[in-house]
Chains A and B, each alone.
Chain A
Amino acid sequence: MIYPNSKTILEVRNLCASVSGTPILKNMNFTVKSGEVHAIMGPNGSGKSTFSKVLAGHSDYEITGGTVLFEGKDLLELAPEERARAGLFLAFQYPIEIPGVGNSQFLRLTYNTVQSHRGNEELDPLEFDDFVRDKMKLLEMREDFLDRSVNAGFSGGEKKRNEILQMALLEPRLAILDETDSGLDIDALRIVSKGVNHLANKDNAIVLVTHYQRLLDYIVPDFVHVMEAGRIIKSGGKELAVELETRGYDWVSDEYKAASRVAA
């Protein structure tokens, strides 16, 4: 929701990034204020996941220009774990499996690490168990989730739910959900969306990366952006997503090219 006079959480200016010498992000500009929900759409390969991972600090990507401020601080200066502790959360498009590492131990470690960096108290295993089971109810997750290895053998939809569970535990300032809807069945989509809506408030912000309007029926965005070839080429309100659903991306691309020609 858009609140008057809300604080800027994320400010990306002319961000350029490349992977092994190939530019992927080209002058990306993007601003998020607290309380807002943004949707980033755009064709496959346009750089949506790259943008998310660059914000989270993935070492595959070299920053070749631009600035990123996170709550006024230089985000690019921070190590990936420091960004997470500062409140940046990325729900991965493809959550990785970590065989052998118990999900409950992992969840407790991440929770306690982030809490202690925020100056809050850590929870012991028993306290954490109650706490996490509560959050799992919100997402209607099966209890045996905790006993399994992190994401190992999870179905596509279970992995996505596990991501949102972590979001619920860590209560990030900015959550980027990279295609959390893909792979979710109809009921799961509704449950996960309900969970995300429950977590959204006026002090945090959510960026949804998605290909489909149906997610945006549940989590209604304040802004919709279209990415192409490493930059945002059009921004609008929630009705833009509806229009994209019927018309596709070509017209946006054409409009952008025409505008660029005029500018040049």
Chain B
Amino acid sequence: MSAALQNIINQPYKHGFVSDIESDVAAKGLDESTIRMISAKRNEPEWLLDFRLQSYAAWLKMTEPTWQNAHHPKIDFQAISYYSAPKQKPKLKSMDEVDPELLRTFEKLGVPLHERMAMAGVAVDVIFDSVSVATTYKEKLAEVGVIFCSFSEAVKDHPELVKKYLGTVIPTSDNYYAALNSAVFTDGSFCFIPKGVKCPMDLSTYFRINTEESGQFERTLIVAEEGASVSYLEGCTAPAFSSNQLHAAVVELVALDNADIKYSTVQNWYAGDENGVGGVYNFVTKRGLAQGVNSRISWTQVETGSAITWKYPSVVLLGDNAVGEFYSVALTNHYQQADTGTKMIHIGKNTRSTIVSKGISAGKSNNSYRGLVKIAPSASGARNYSQCDSMLIGQESGAHTFPYINVRNNTAKVEHEASTSKIGEDQMFYFAQRGIDAEAAVSMIINGFCKDVFQQLPLEFAVEATNLLSFKLEGSVG
């Protein structure tokens, strides 16, 4: 690989600063008393403490999974602090009241939080370490009956809704990290779109890990009632630390009859340095339940960060005619490892799912697509189309595809296509011979490769994702 190409893909991480915000950090370690402490700090009701304790009991009986195509030293769960909250006024009415240092942080992040998001009319919830610090546009949303708030507020103000749906899509004992999250989660976002309401604006949550030895375990729950629809955006960053931080989030989506949930993520957690030191372990469980007839759940993700990403946003297609979609771009560089994909579980009749996965591996990184398409005996007329494309940059990166297909109904139709390509020296030379420098060439090739996914993102996010990929891949050439 030429030096130019090498340079382009070796960009430093621009979000690698620590915000100087005073935090209230719990002592490291995890036992029952930690969980009681978290619950008490948050003034939680008894039922939620019980939910946590049950999850913890389940977690203790489980073992860490090792089947994913990603390798890391054993995590010491006692060396993690399970609670870190910025020390500041607990309640904020508007963004103007947010700690100025926090706002500066977001400016450094290039997060268009304060003005641009407002101008774009996006409602934002900001989660710093584990605690939600600000939610915008709440009143405006409330007028149409949309609830958009931090998870803690939801527990306080809408306990019946939280209780009704929490853990219904991802049971506490679903997997090791989901169980851990269910035991120790500290905050997250809650979003409820009542019957017949089209959410008037995109909803967005911005996550940031800021403390070196704290884990981040946020919990997101989105419910769209009959005929409701919402587009939800999630972004995240973390500062550069030489140690690894654990991020084990759980996201549950519920779509009732004719409801439509579109969930978009741009993930840019710190990926570690060029030697593979530091970085976030991103072990996330995301699942949507397309419960109602004609319901639709669509996941779009652009995964560029984290030392290790291990996540499979999935859809359980329960209602007849339900639709599940998964559009993914995963970019890995240096020593990053990504094992990501989806599960489409077809149960209802005439359910349809589409999977489009684009993996880009550069440096010495490893990028795996792992996907399951399961057609239950009840899912007559179900259809799936999967397309998994990999692009390799350089000689030392790896791309792998693990499709699992399990069809139990002979009226179902499942199609799978896969391809692997490379950005070759001769392609780069072709661009150069036409006057186009290496940076512009790589970004054009990558954007072309990711086009099918980017066009699924809301415009604001598509621009951010395009820039982010270019940024990750561009550099000082020549």
Contact = CB atoms under 8 A, between A and B. Distances in A.
A166 B427 contact: no
B430 A95 contact: yes
B448 A56 contact: no
B433 A170 contact: no
Interface stretch (A17-25, A80-88, A125-133, A197-205): A80-88
A100 interface: yes
Nearest to A90: B433
Which of A58, A84, A92, A101 has the most chain B CB atoms inside 10 A of its CB? Answer: A101
Interface string A62-88: 000000000000000001110111000
A220 to B, nearest CB: 26
A182 interface: no
Interface string A87-106: 00110100110111110011
**Interface of chain B, main secondary structure:** helix
A96 B440 contact: no
A110 B445 contact: no
A95 B429 CA distance: 11
B433 A84 contact: yes
A58 B426 CA distance: 9
Nearest to A110: B434
Contact of A166 (B2, B434, B478): B434
A96 B421 CA distance: 13
B429 A58 contact: yes
Contacts of A100: 445, 448-449, 451
A117 B437 CA distance: 12
Given A98-B445, A100-B445, A113 B432 contact: no
Interface in B1-27: 2
Interface string B409-431: 00000000000010011110111
Contacts of B65: none
Interface string A218-247: 000000000000000000000000000000
B150 to A, nearest CB: 40
Contacts of A85: 435
A96 B432 contact: no
A110 B427 contact: no
B436 interface: yes
A117 B426 contact: no
Given A114-B435, A170-B434, A170-B435, A96 B448 contact: no
Which of A95, A99, A100, A102 has the most chain B CB atoms inside 10 A of its CB? Answer: A100
Given A81-B435, A96-B426, A98-B427, A113 B440 contact: yes
Contact of B444 (A57, A58, A101, A170): A101
Contacts of A106: 434, 444
Contacts of A90: 433
B358 to A, nearest CB: 10
A46 interface: no
A96 B444 contact: no
Contacts of A170: 434-435
Contact of A96 (B424, B436, B451): B424
Given A59-B425, A98-B427, A80 B433 contact: yes
A149 interface: yes
A80 B427 contact: no
Interface string A152-171: 00000000000000100010
A233 B401 CA distance: 54
Nearest to A100: B448
B392 to A, nearest CB: 14
Nearest to B426: A96
A258 interface: no
A2 interface: no
A218 to B, nearest CB: 25
B113 to A, nearest CB: 31
Interface residues of B, number: 22
B430 A92 contact: yes
Contact of A98 (B2, B425, B430, B451): B430
Contacts of A80: 429, 432-433
A90 B429 CA distance: 11
A81 B432 contact: yes
Contacts of B434: 84, 106, 110, 113-114, 166, 170
A166 B436 CA distance: 13
Contacts of A109: 436, 440, 444
Interface in A140-154: 149
Contacts of B429: 56, 58-59, 80
B436 A81 contact: yes
Interface in B137-175: none
A79 B436 contact: no
Contacts of A110: 431, 434-436
A57 B478 CA distance: 14
Given A59-B2, A59-B425, A79-B478, A102 B448 contact: yes
Nearest to B434: A110
Contacts of B451: 100
A84 B425 contact: no
Which of A80, A89, A106 has the most chain B CB atoms inside 10 A of its CB? Answer: A80
Contacts of B425: 59-60
A85 B435 CA distance: 5
Contacts of B430: 92, 95-96, 98
A23 to B, nearest CB: 21
Nearest to B391: A100
B7 to A, nearest CB: 13
A177 B327 CA distance: 42
B445 A84 contact: no
Contacts of A113: 434-436, 440
Which of B425, B448, B478 has the most chain A CB atoms inside 10 A of its CB? Answer: B448
A224 to B, nearest CB: 25
B449 A56 contact: no
A105 B434 CA distance: 13
The 5 closest A-B pairs by CB, nearest first: A100-B448, A80-B432, A110-B434, A84-B435, A101-B448
10 contacts: A81-B431, A81-B436, A85-B435, A89-B433, A100-B448, A100-B451, A110-B435, A113-B435, A114-B434, A114-B435
Given A99-B421, A101-B448, 20 more contacts: A56-B429, A79-B432, A79-B437, A79-B478, A81-B431, A81-B432, A81-B435, A84-B433, A84-B434, A96-B427, A98-B445, A99-B448, A100-B448, A101-B445, A105-B444, A106-B444, A109-B444, A110-B436, A113-B436, A113-B440
